[in-house]
C-alpha cells in the first residue's frame, strides 16, 4: 500500500493472491483491473462487486478497502497507482470531483485502455519514463471519463474528507512513528474511546489491527526491494524490537519476515493500496 508520504510517482503490480486490505486513504489515484476472479471493494461509503474484466477507479483522498471473494488459484488483478501530477489534463477533475459510480464493466472498456495498461506494465518508475507514463495514463482517462458522471467537491486543493478520512490520512502519514491511540486522539482533540469507535464501528477494524496492517505492509516493501536487515526493517516500520515485529508479521502474513524475503527479494511488490 502506498501512502501520500511516499516518493514513488507510479507503480504497477499484478496480484495473484487474495487481497485483504483494511480501509485506507492516499493522495494519488488508483486503478484496479480484475483479470480473473471476484473482488468486493468499498469506495467511500458504498460497496461494489467486481467481476472478470471490471475496472475500479479510486480518486485521490477516497477511503477504500479490498476483500477478495475468489480462491487464490482463480485470482488475478492488475493494480496501477499514479500521482495526480502525472495526468495534468485531468488533474482538476481528479482533485475536485468524484465519480458517482467508479466502476467500468467489460463492455465499457475501450481497447486503448488495455493497450495502455499493457504498455505501463513494461515500464519502471524512473525519471526517463515519466513522459510515457503520463501519456499512457492520460490515454486511459481520456477513454474512462466519458462514462463517468462526476459530482463536484468544494474549491479546495483536495476533495473534502469526513472526520474518519482525516483520521486515516493522519495515521497513513505517521504510522512508522510511535503512534499510540492516545497520541492520535490528542491530535484530534477527542477521547480514546471515541477514536476507537471510529475504527471499530465506522471502519470495522480495531485501531491496533489497522496500524499493524500499515506497518507490516510497508515492511513487505522494504523486505522485497532493500538490503536492510530484519531489525532495521522492524525499526523503520515503527516497531521497537524485532521480536514483536516477527510475531505480528507472522500473525498477519502466515510466514516470518525472513521467509517472505526469501520468496520476494528484489521483486516488484505492491505493499500499499
pLDDT tens, residue by residue, 32-45: 999 999 999 988 77
Per cent of the chain over pLDDT 70 is: 88
pLDDT greater at residue 109 or residue 271: 109
Helix axes 257-264, 242-253, angle to 10 degrees: 60
228 falls in which pLDDT band (50, 70, 90)?
very high
Q: Which pLDDT does position 7 carry in this prediction?
A: 52
Residue 254 backbone class (left: φ over 0; alpha: ψ -120 to 50; beta: rest) = left
Q: Which pLDDT does position 157 carry in this prediction?
A: 40
Q: Which pLDDT does position 1 carry in this prediction?
A: 32
Q: Which three cell numbers stand for residue 127?
A: 525519471
Question: In Å, how far are 93, 216, 241, 244 from 262, measured between CA atoms?
Answer: 42, 16, 21, 20
Q: Which pLDDT does position 266 carry in this prediction?
A: 55
CB atoms within 10 A of CB 69: 14
Choose from 70-84, 126-140, 250-264 the range with maximum mean pLDDT: 126-140
Per cent of the chain over pLDDT 90 is: 44
∠ CA 255-259-261 to the nearest 5 degrees?
A: 120
Q: Which of 25, 55, 78, 51 is nearest to 147 (CA)?
A: 55
User: 40 forms bridges with which residues in the sheet?
Assistant: 49, 67
For the cut 90, the answer to whether the pLDDT of residue 231 exceeds it is: yes
26, 4 contact by CB (below 8 A): yes
Query: What ranges in 72-149 are assigned the alpha helix state H?
Result: 91-96, 111-121, 130-144
Q: Which three cell numbers stand for residue 228?
A: 536492510
239 falls in which pLDDT band (50, 70, 90)?
very high
pLDDT tens digits for 64-117? 888 888 887 788 899 999 988 889 999 888 878 888 889 999 899 999 999 999
pLDDT greater at residue 201 or residue 7: 201
Q: Which pLDDT does position 161 carry in this prediction?
A: 53
Q: CB within 8 A of 180, min separation 6: which ones?
A: none
pLDDT tens digits for 58-77? 988 787 888 888 887 788 89
Q: Which pLDDT does position 162 carry in this prediction?
A: 66
User: 50 forms bridges with which residues in the sheet?
Assistant: 39
**Average pLDDT value over all residues in the chain:** 84
Q: Which three cell numbers stand for residue 36?
A: 480473473
Choose from 159-168, 187-196, 212-221 the range with maximum mean pLDDT: 187-196
Question: In Å, how far are 92, 132, 222, 229 from 87, measured between CA atoms?
Answer: 10, 11, 28, 37
pLDDT mean over 175-181:
93
**pTM tops 0.85, yes or no:** no
For the cut 90, the answer to whether the pLDDT of residue 241 exceeds it is: yes
For the cut 70, the answer to whether the pLDDT of residue 160 exceeds it is: no
Amino acid at each position: 500500500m502506498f501512502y501520500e508520504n511516499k516518493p514513488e510517482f507510479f507503480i504497477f503490480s499484478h496480484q495473484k493472491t487474495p487481497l485483504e486490505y483494511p480501509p485506507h486513504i492516499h493522495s494519488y489515484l488508483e486503478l484496479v483491473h480484475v483479470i480473473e476472479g471476484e473482488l468486493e471493494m468499498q469506495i467511500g461509503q458504498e460497496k461494489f462487486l467486481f467481476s472478470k474484466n471490471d475496472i475500479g477507479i479510486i480518486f485521490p483522498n477516497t477511503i477504500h478497502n479490498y476483500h477478495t471473494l475468489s480462491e487464490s488459484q482463480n485470482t488475478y488483478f492488475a493494480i496501477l497507482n499514479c500521482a495526480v501530477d502525472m495526468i495534468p489534463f485531468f488533474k482538476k477533475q481528479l482533485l475536485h470531483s468524484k465519480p458517482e459510480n467508479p466502476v467500468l464493466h467489460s463492455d465499457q472498456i475501450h481497447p486503448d485502455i488495455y493497450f495502455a495498461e499493457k504498455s505501463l506494465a513494461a515500464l519502471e518508475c524512473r525519471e526517463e519514463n515519466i513522459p510515457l507514463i503520463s501519456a499512457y495514463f492520460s490515454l486511459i482517462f481520456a477513454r474512462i471519463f466519458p462514462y463517468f458522471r462526476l459530482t463536484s467537491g468544494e474549491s479546495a486543493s483536495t476533495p473534502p474528507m469526513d472526520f474518519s478520512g482525516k483520521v486515516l490520512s493522519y495515521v497513513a502519514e505517521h504510522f512508522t512513528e510511535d503512534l499510540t491511540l492516545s497520541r492520535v486522539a490528542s491530535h484530534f482533540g477527542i477521547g480514546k474511546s471515541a477514536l476507537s469507535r471510529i475504527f471499530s464501528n465506522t471502519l470495522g477494524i480495531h485501531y491496533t489491527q489497522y496500524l499493524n496492517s500499515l506497518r507490516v505492509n510497508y515492511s513487505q516493501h522494504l523486505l522485497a526491494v532493500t538490503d536492510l536487515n530484519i531489525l532495521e526493517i522492524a525499526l523503520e516500520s515503527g516497531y521497537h524490537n524485532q521480536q514483536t515485529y516477527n510475531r505480528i508479521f507472522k500473525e498477519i502474513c502466515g510466514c516470518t519476515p525472513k521467509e517472505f524475503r526469501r520468496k520476494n527479494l528484489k521483486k516488484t511488490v505492491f505493499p500499499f493500496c
